[in-house]
Every structure is written in structure tokens, then in C-alpha cells.
Amino acid sequence: MPYKLLFVCLGNICRSPSAENIMNLLIRQNGLDGQIICDSAGTGAWHIGNPPDRRMNAAAQAKLGITLEGTARQFHPDDFEEFDLILAMDKENYENILRLDRSGQYRHKVKLMCDYCQTYGDREVPDPYYGGTEGFNYVIDLLMDACGGLLTELKASGAIAQ
């Protein structure tokens, strides 16, 4: 049974689809296809049905040579059952997700993305939406670091075969 990851940000057009696509890149590069399944969602509903932000896509293409795929959707309480690990991009998203877990039974599944950073000291993935190119590029670098750390952790914990 594959291990299922859900990346969550506010609108599901910048940070979380980038994390999803970066993780999929690392999965392919490590020959782990079929062992890990990734998805992304937003805590807000503003961008449902939209593709990833073009500026975020440009940064992913420039830095990693990948095109961001996916369509924005909103986080749903059913996601607690569906996914093994839910990764929030910042503390606000983390709190918004936990608010939907009224019983507290899924709290152990919700983590901050930056908990997996190996190089960067950031505690949150900043939202680049209102910033310039540097912000989008920085988010790609930060997520590459965090996704790499997450993959290392999944291997070390035995959540996936190596």
C-alpha cells in the first residue's frame, strides 16, 4: 500500500502544488514510483479548479526543469482519513487544518513542511504570491530542501521500502 502525502497551503496554487511536484520529482529520481502518492490542497476556496500560479511554474521550470501539474482544490475533513501525512506550509495553515479535526484524533498526522528542512532554518514556507521573482525562487529552494529531508525521514522510519 503506498504512503500518501498531502501538501497544504492557503490557495493551493503556489507552495503546496510546488511541494507536490518537487516530491514527485524526487520520488521518480529515487525509483520510488508507486510507493509514495502525493496530492495538494488549500485551506481556502478562492482558487479551486485553477492551475498552479504561472510565476511559481516559471520558477520551477527555471530551477528544476519541471512543469507544475495539478488543479487547486480545498482541504476536506475526509483528507484526514485518506492521507498518512499532511504537511502544512505555515503555522496558519497548520492551525486551520487542526480546527477541522474536532476530535483531535488526526493531530499526529499534521506537520509543518519546514520540520523536514535539512539546510534552511526557516520554520514556515513564505507565501510568495505578492512578492517578486526572488520569492518564488526561494520557495523552490526551500521546498527542495524540505522534500529531500522528508524523503530521507520516510526511508529512515521504514514508512517506505528502500
Task: Report how far residue 52's alpha carbon sits from residue 72's, in angstroms, rounded to the nearest whole number.
Answer: 7
In the structure, what pLDDT confidence band is assigned to residue 48 with cuts at 50, 70 and 90? very high
Q: Could you tell me the domains of the chain?
A: 3-157 (3.40.50.2300)
Query: What's the gap between Cα 66 and its chain centre?
Result: 16
Residues carrying an active site annotation: 9, 15, 127
How far is residue 138 CA from its own chain's centroid? 15
The pTM for the full model equals 0.97
User: pLDDT tens digits for 60-99?
Assistant: 999 999 999 999 999 999 999 999 999 999 999 999 999 9
pLDDT of residue 161: 80
Q: Are 49 and 7 in contact (CB under 8 A)?
A: no
CB–CB of 46/78 below 8 Å?
no
Q: Is the pLDDT of residue 162 over 80?
A: no
Instruction: Give the residue among 102, 54, 47 at the shortest CA–CA distance from 80.
Output: 102
CA dihedral sign, ordered 38, 84, 105, 88: negative
Task: Give CA–CA dist 6/11, Å, rounded.
Answer: 14
Segment 152-159 mean pLDDT: 94
Percent pLDDT > 90 in the chain is 95
**Distance between CA atoms of residues 3 and 12, nearest Å:** 21
- State the cell numbers at 81: 482519513
